[in-house]
Amino acid sequence: MRDESKPAYLEQLTARLSERTALIGIIGLGYVGLPLTLRYAEAGFRVLGIDIDGSKVERLNRGESYINHVPAADIARARSQGFEATTDFTRAGEPDALIICVPTPLNPYREPDLSFVLETTEALLPFMRPGQVLSLESTTYPGTTEEELKPRLESRSFVIGRDIFLVFSPEREDPGNPDFHTRTIPKVCGGVTPACLEAGIALYGAAIDRVVPVSSTRAAELTKLLENIHRAVNIGLVNEMKIIADRMKIDIHEVIRAAATKPFGFTPYYPGPGLGGHCIPIDPFYLTWKAREYGLHTRFIELAGEINSDMPHWVVSKLTDALNQRGKAVMGSRVLVLGIAYKKDVEDMRESPSVELMEILRDKGAVVDYADPHVPVFPRMREHHFDLKSVELTAQRIASYDVVLLATAHSAFDYDLVRQYASLIVDTRGVYLAALPNVVKA
């Protein structure tokens, strides 16, 4: 018997999701969208993936992977369960659910760039139909879902909460982390209306172990920003502590390890050469930008951003001093950068501080090479270019460089080999815990 208190479309949608007869549409098949696709396929759903990159679509339809930590076997299994990828946005009316997983970068003025989200929404709109749930997962400032997506849906005469259901559920992927997976990471979800929230809970509850409902899309949007600002501020703090400890001739990594033995009231964060990835260097500025609308100045967040942004220059100054002490200048020195992905054991280059380190050193006249088993060829990037390939780490090769700059601590590196043959190592990741004559900690 039909529940008269529920909109008819909501009842039909939740039933299809519960019975796993719904078709799930994922728009954007990158580091967020692809794992989510595989999770829905694993949960017994047919999935239609939509991406503007034709080469990605072709590879997926052949059962191939283009992300290191996503096995091709998982894609082949999803294909056998009905997963299909396409570049055809006219098929947006087929799925019962549409989940947007596209980038939200900053523009050159460090302001939010919603072009990917808005262009994707505009591409979907002409083909959407009543009875669908639309979820935005892309990180953004509070108000985006209601201020940008809701009016666009209403311009097509959809009534939000009656015949179309709109939610925001921030992605929480951590590429390369073996301890957490899409299924086991709790999913925050906020809806524009109570009916929208019910649709969102039904959508994610069918594939994710735990759904955490919040009162609005704005609360869900701010939740994601708080998570990443928390990390950015604490990393900024520990980076500042690293500079102080260095001046005092204290090993910050020894201090962090000692502090981490406290069983309450302390969470260890680790310094590095700068922030990388698609979240932590970017997301705080989404809130900073939006806060200005309310006459607020986010001093704490911006100070952490300044500290983190300065870290590549501080690392290069440490490298410069270390070379000077050996009677060498940066200009003309041969520098090998170990690891250019933004974090260990992934191939993701987005906002990698290693690239900024390479550019600073190149501008100072150094001859720069890199070694990274996850990035065999330096990729095409919008703002950076090096015509380089990853070099093989042999004893002879390592010994040929004036300095090895350890920027990303991949598990695949033979650190004993590097320590044995490098004349100078600048370690930004605390890999070498003992005091060694050829290691400078930065």
> Which residues are marked as active site?
279
- d(C-alpha 309, C-alpha 314), whole Å: 10
Polymer length in residues for the chain: 442
Q: What are phi and psi of 308, to 5 degrees?
A: -65, -35
**Order of strands, edge to edge, in the sheet holding 164-168?**
84-86, 46-50, 23-27, 97-100, 132-136, 164-168, 187-191, 211-214
Angle between helices 217-247 and 299-324 (to 10 degrees): 30
Q: Following CA atoms 60, 66, 71, 74 in sequence, which dihedral angle do they give, to the nearest 10 degrees? A: -20
One-letter amino acid for residue 230 of the chain? H
Give, as one character, the DSSP assignment of residue 326.
T
- d(C-alpha 215, C-alpha 238), whole Å: 34
SS3 of residue 167 by DSSP: strand
Contact of 53 with 116, CB cutoff 8 Å: no
Q: Name the residue among 262, 263, 236, 241 with its Cα closest to residue 251.
A: 241
